[in-house]
Amino acid sequence: MAPEHREAANAFAAGDELRLDITAMAHGGEGIGHAPDGRVVFVRGAVPGDTVTARATKVKRRWARAELVEVLEASPVRAPVSCPAAAAGAGCCDYSHIDSGAQLGFKRDVLVGQLGALARRSGVLGGFDPAADLQLRALTPHIGWRTRVRLGVDAHGRAGVRHARSADVVASEHCTQPVPGLLDGLVGEARFTPGSEVIAVLDSGGTRHVVETARVQRGRRAETITTVIEGSGDVTERIVGPEGAHEFAFPATAFWQAHVQAPQVYSDVISEWGAGNYTRGVAWDLYGGVGAFVPAIHSATGGARVVSVDYSPAANAAEQPGLAGWGVEMVEGRVEGSVDKLEAPGLVVLDPPRAGAGEAVVRAVAAANPERVIHVGCDPATLARDLGAWGGEGFRVRRMLLIDAFPATHHFETIVELARK
């Protein structure tokens, strides 16, 4: 049969049901199968090793998206859904139907696949083989790990996590990510302003802070606390470095890593990987937030003057007590508009948001010719794109570590050390 006739015979449309063997996980948390005509089909809730019936919801020329109808044969790593909110349709724990021992391996496969597709051709990997050389680490605990959470509020004033792929609120069930006690008395209670958002934080001192904010437009990071419901609204966090403990104070709306172990683990990696004898006495901390990585950078460089750049007003609202006396320069502004005005660094650490740094930032940083770069990425696709840009500027990967800091979700963090070849 000619290819065009075979494609016509196997054609399908939205609403059609397909029998699919799920062979891999996609970036984004969906299972991957192949339709009879060869098109890739993404199925939310499917697991590699499953055979499923799925109903097509969106059909494109090269791919399709489908909803799970029935699991005909279950994967050996399929497990009962561990998160009540996810079972009710929330988008929080999209890996909660996968055995916890298998999740890290699927995340590894996703990262390796993204690197192969987007970064390899730039030469940035050099002699680094992600399949063999990638380091893996899963943070614990796997349940009750999140120290800060953002809840939506429905039209009845009830708070809850948001529905998958929707702004609707699941106010009937609790998510299993938050640390014990963080959501007590919050989910399902008709006590908040309809349409607002509720941010709850349990800080290093054990104090819970609950604040209400107006929902922020997409792409904006600045937001205003409209009501402090519990606590002061100003959180205190702590990281232990070689020189001792460092305390950070900032509004509940400012960024801090979500997993209870993540800030310390990331700092320890930066201290180790960034250690060296640099010819320049300046280091950059880009997208630095409140300066959580500054102690690690200061230690790794033997006391270099650290310049920390971030454009969040909440992050730069006050001087940090844990950085007093170090001469840290905190720059409020966008990274792409700031780095060309800074003194050239020995070490650069950058931790961009999910959208990544982008080619313009990579090019600007590379123009300063840093001796070493540590790039932290929370999205494998944008990280791979950024690594490709680093490769175009002559940088090569030395080490790479995948950290599962988001158990029961498809998300993970990657830390990469680079230097010019």
Q: Are the CB atoms for 347 and 274 separated by under 8 Å?
A: yes
How far is CA 154 from its chain centroid? 26
SS3 of the chain: the string is: CCHHHHHHHCCCCCCCEEEEECCEECCCCEEEEECCCCCEEEEECCCCCCEEEEEEEEECCCEEEEEEEEEEECCCCECCCCCHHHHCCECCCCCCCECHHHHHHHHHHHHHHHHHHHCHHHCCCCCCCHHHHCEEEECCCCCCCECEEEEEECCCCEEEEEECCCCCEECCCCCCCECCCCCCCCECCECCCCCCEEEEEECCCCCEEEEEECCCCCCCCCCCEEEEEECCCEEEEEEEECCEEEEEEEECCCCCCCECCHHHHHHHHHHHHCCCCCCCCEEEEECCCCCCCHHHHHHHCCCCEEEEEECCCCCCCCCCHHHCCCCCEEEECCHHHCHHHCCCCCEEEECCCCCCCCHHHHHHHHHCCCCEEEEEECCHHHHHHHHHHHHHCCEEEEEEEEEECCCCCCCCEEEEEEEEC
In a 13 Å sphere around the CA of 268, the CA atoms on its Cβ side amount to 8
Backbone angles phi, psi at 26, to 5 degrees: -95, 155
Does the bond joining 141 to the residue before it have cis omega, within 30 degrees of 0? Answer: yes
By annotation, the residues acting in catalysis are 378
Q: Are the CB atoms for 324 and 249 separated by under 8 Å?
A: no
Backbone angles phi, psi at 114, to 5 degrees: -65, -40
Taking every pair of Cα atoms in the chain, the longest distance, rounded to a whole number of angstroms, is 77
